[in-house]
Structure 1
Amino acid sequence: MSRVGNLDPDNDYGHWIASNLRFLRLTWGMTTAQVGEIIGVTASQVSNLEAARSQLQIEQAESLDLRWKTDGHLTRMVRQRDRPHDPDWWNQYVVYERQAERIESYNALVVPGLLQTEPYMRALFEVSVVVTDIDAAVRDRLARQESLRKKDPLELRFLIKESALLDPIGGKEVMREQLAYLLEVSRWPNVVLRVVSRDIGAHVGVDGSFQLLHGGKRVAAYIEAVGGGRLVVTPSKVAGYRRRYDTLMGEAQPRRVSEGLIRDAMEG
């Protein structure tokens, strides 16, 4: 449970809003009860808002901006928090990935970027509606893969939907090379790689691919989307993706069965 003293406003958007709320209340010399009267909640609920145990809503932010004459400051912060997509979130994601100590990834459509061979990623970039400079994109992705070869490499947990192993991205030879690389990586001591079989039918991963990035006390979720993605840092929302990942891990095949499914895909 978050407390005011444990907030991390530099790295969590919800904590940033909570810190601003407390700062403005104290600047105006108000009690939590007085703020509660402005936005129609109790003093304890205001305390929860300031500790990021609950989230400030847009109507509440508008009321406080009007009372404190802050020219829409809190309202803009809440709108930014609630935006479904921000083109800068990818740049933020790369920072989280670089600082991560453990990454847990579920991939529904393609092999995860950190495990892609160069021919495989080129084939994907060639049909991308977002990538304009394929060579630059390849260089960037290969540079990110260097984290796998550090002296103290990342802990990596990959769940891959079986269907992602069957599409011949780049042609049969490119895909066969890619699958062989997955088998190699699956034996690395810092890597857990499991296949989510098609036989399980409907499951909690049908909404799409996502990742959990653990770094120190911070955990973020990254959700992939067409043309972009979203970085989620609000603890309550990250916890939902944590539960989803744990459920998928329970439904994934054991290591030897997963390796057998990869071999079957290679032969196919």
Structure 2
Amino acid sequence: MPIVRDPLDPKISMWHFLAFCMRFFREKMGLSLTQCGEIIGVARSTVSNMEAGRRRPQDDQMRLLDRAYGTGVFFQVLLWFARMAHDPDWGRQIDKYEEEAVSVKTYHGQVVPLALQTDDYTWACVRASKFKDLDATMTRRTDKKKAYWDKGDSLLTWTVIDEAVLARPVGGTEVMRKQLEHLLELAKLPHVSLRVVPFSSGEHMGVDGSMQIFGLEDRDVAYSGALNGGRLIETPGEVRELSITFDRIGVKAASEEASREIIEQYLERYT
């Protein structure tokens, strides 16, 4: 006999509630996973992953489900609320998107983005964090960095940082010296673009916080950083707005060559 999987707990998050409702209505309609997949244009396994919370549905799929079930805009509204609500699994979901990404655009105005950090720089950031298990946190971050660069040139990296990142001596002079040398080495890679927004550019839209935009095979998703935890953004309109913000910050940034010169100037200060 096939293994019957228990439905997700709908009280955990709106994403779990959406997945719970997808299974509840499908079974109420007497449909198999395959039949549901035919309605929304996906494979049986994809429906199973959606109902298990391993894959997130999209607007057109929820529109087709509402039409087939006669539920008005029920599933479309559930998807909207799931995207807008706090998601306790947001960190794990971001990791998943990063694994699937073919490109990552990152802006940070305070520290070197994690993927570009040396281990000593990462450890300095971990020590200054609120996490209690520092060793476990460090291990997670170093593993994440390794997985990022293991993808090689199949992952295009566009990074913009504020000059303040270079001026802040995270971990002390020696750590910063090695970190800047590391940035210069990464900047030589053909699939990496690294640019700096100099102080002379004045005000820019990056003062509102950090951001990441993950380019997937079929769409883009984004993450907007904040002090006590950021927000994963999947709504196409919002992702597009964040992409425009990234581009507008980039307008203020120096060219790749000029950015390397700025980094080299700071490297001399730390030598």
- Normalised by the length of structure 1, the TM-score is 0.73
Deviation at 1:14, TM superposition (A): 5.7
Whether the aligned pair in 2 keeps the contact of 1:161 and 1:196 (CA below 8 Å) is yes
Aligned to 1:82: 84
CA distance in structure 2 between the partners assigned to 1:220 and 1:204 by the alignment: 19
Deviation at 1:251, TM superposition (A): 1.9
Moved more, 198-207 or 113-122: 198-207
Task: Point out where structure 2 has 5 or more consecutive residues left out of the alignment.
Answer: 1-38
CA distance in structure 2 between the partners assigned to 1:78 and 1:209 by the alignment: 24
For the residue of structure 2 that corresponds to 1:226, the secondary structure is coil
CA deviation profile, 1:97-128 (whole Å, cap 9, x unmatched): 01111101111110000011111111111111
Structure 1 runs of 4+ with >4 Å offset: 4-14, 18-22
Aligned to 1:215: 216
* Residue identity in the other structure for 2:140: D
Deviation at 1:153, TM superposition (A): 3.9
For the residue of structure 1 that corresponds to 2:143, the secondary structure is helix
For the residue of structure 1 that corresponds to 2:120, the secondary structure is helix
Whether the aligned pair in 1 keeps the contact of 2:158 and 2:194 (CA below 8 Å) is yes
Task: Point out where structure 1 has 5 or more consecutive residues left out of the alignment.
Answer: 36-45, 57-73
* Residue identity in the other structure for 1:82: M
Whether the aligned pair in 1 keeps the contact of 2:40 and 2:65 (CA below 8 Å) is no
Deviation at 1:149, TM superposition (A): 3.6
What is the identity percentage for the equivalent residue pairs of Structure 1 and Structure 2? 34
* Residue identity in the other structure for 1:23: L
CA distance in structure 2 between the partners assigned to 1:82 and 1:242 by the alignment: 18
Aligned to 1:165: 166
Question: Are 1:254 and 2:255 an aligned pair?
Answer: yes
Deviation at 1:21, TM superposition (A): 5.7
CA distance in structure 2 between the partners assigned to 1:148 and 1:181 by the alignment: 13
Are residues 233 and 118 of structure 1, via their aligned partners in 2, closer, same or farther at CA, if it must alter by over 3 Å?
same
* Residue identity in the other structure for 1:192: S
Aligned to 2:13: none
Whether the aligned pair in 2 keeps the contact of 1:102 and 1:215 (CA below 8 Å) is yes
CA deviation profile, 1:124-160 (whole Å, cap 9, x unmatched): 111111x222222222222222231445441101101
Question: Are 1:142 and 2:184 an aligned pair?
Answer: no
For the residue of structure 1 that corresponds to 2:112, the secondary structure is coil
**Aligned pair count?**
221
* Residue identity in the other structure for 1:175: M
Whether the aligned pair in 2 keeps the contact of 1:90 and 1:228 (CA below 8 Å) is no
Deviation at 1:260, TM superposition (A): 1.2
Q: How does 1:33-52 map to 2 (within 5 A)?
A: none
Aligned to 2:65: 23
CA deviation profile, 1:193-238 (whole Å, cap 9, x unmatched): 0001111222121111101101201211011122322111111110
CA RMSD of aligned residues (A): 2.7
- Normalised by the length of structure 2, the TM-score is 0.73
For the residue of structure 1 that corresponds to 2:225, the secondary structure is strand
Are residues 101 and 19 of structure 1, via their aligned partners in 2, closer, same or farther at CA, if it must alter by over 3 Å?
closer
